[in-house]
Amino acid sequence: MQYEGKVYRPWMEAESILIQTTIGCTINTCTFCSMFRDKKFRIRDIEDIFADIESARKTHPFVESIFLIDGDVMAIRAEMLIKILNKLTDTFPEIKNIALYAGYNNIRRKSVNDLIAMRKAGLTMVYAGLESGDAVVLEQINKGMTPAHVVEGANMIKEAGIRLLASFIFGLGGKTRSKEHIEATTNILNLTQPEEIAPMGLAIQPGTELEQDVASGKFVRATPLQILEEEKYLLDNLNFETFYWGDHGNNIATMRGWLPKDQARFKNHIVDNIKNNPITQDNVIQTFSW
């Protein structure tokens, strides 16, 4: 199997086989992200993708989960993506889960019928970077989408019967927009009700515009206490059933489980950290680059 450049996958896909179908990211302008800055976006030739799938079959006798990389695999035209999914299910008849990265805008560029066809071909989940529900924050980070785009894309995925995991970032509003950021993010999650959500603490990635903004003072990072308060607000106000992946390595208080089943326990854990964790006395949270 051939991989080009650095390879990234969600932490919850650690056991999945990775098949590179795109190179880089269609957006690649987000101020906080440097994952694909060394690559120019393109879609791999389908023959090369198929060759990697066949290679994976030779070396893995039993595969239940596959994750398609790089960023925004949903940018591939529907007909080609369905061929890739059919190749996967034909090659791995035992497969249970096929997931991929998808930008909300490229979801919107498909039809619901396209998405339904993808589900029937084997696609079970898409991972979409929400980052924030606040229109101001989305504009500041150059995400290239609006809250309305998020709602439209999420509704299309839901109508197609594909699971959605929405990831977002505590602290992305900085010190001065923490309240607006978490309130708007919580609201849009309640509106779209993704089947899974994955919050993570903001990490300043080397070489990004956000790193420059921190150095110049244009962006002042939220304090650890603010980040814990953001998570408390989220858990106080989420009102739908979802799986909570709150165990990213950059989170202060890690926890994972079902909401609302585990919601009270998670809130107690956050409150305990707010009261007793010495990190709340720090001005800046110590996080790690991806």
What are the structural domains of the chain? 11-275 (3.20.20.70)
Longest Cα pair distance anywhere in the chain, in angstroms?
57
Res 74: pLDDT = 97
Residue type (1 letter), 175 = K
Res 1: pLDDT = 76
pLDDT < 50 regions, the chain: none
Give the tens place of pLDDT for each residue, 158-213. 999 999 999 999 999 999 999 999 999 999 999 999 999 999 999 999 999 999 99
Q: What gap in Å lies between CA 201 and CA 216, rounded to an integer?
A: 21
Cβ–Cβ < 8 Å for 281, 234: no
Res 282: pLDDT = 83
Res 43: pLDDT = 97
Q: What gap in Å lies between CA 232 and CA 247, rounded to an integer?
A: 15
Res 2: pLDDT = 84
Cβ–Cβ < 8 Å for 138, 180: no
Q: What gap in Å lies between CA 71 and CA 9, rounded to an integer?
A: 9
Res 6: pLDDT = 87
Res 206: pLDDT = 92
Residue type (1 letter), 11 = W
Res 285: pLDDT = 73
Res 290: pLDDT = 62
Res 5: pLDDT = 87
Instruction: List alpha helices for 9-146, DSSP H.
Output: 46-59, 78-91, 104-108, 112-121, 135-140
Res 69: pLDDT = 96
Concatenate the DSSP letters of all residues of 227-278 into one string.
HHHHHHHHHHH--S-EEEEE--TT-SS-EEEEETTTHHHHHHHHHHHHHH-G
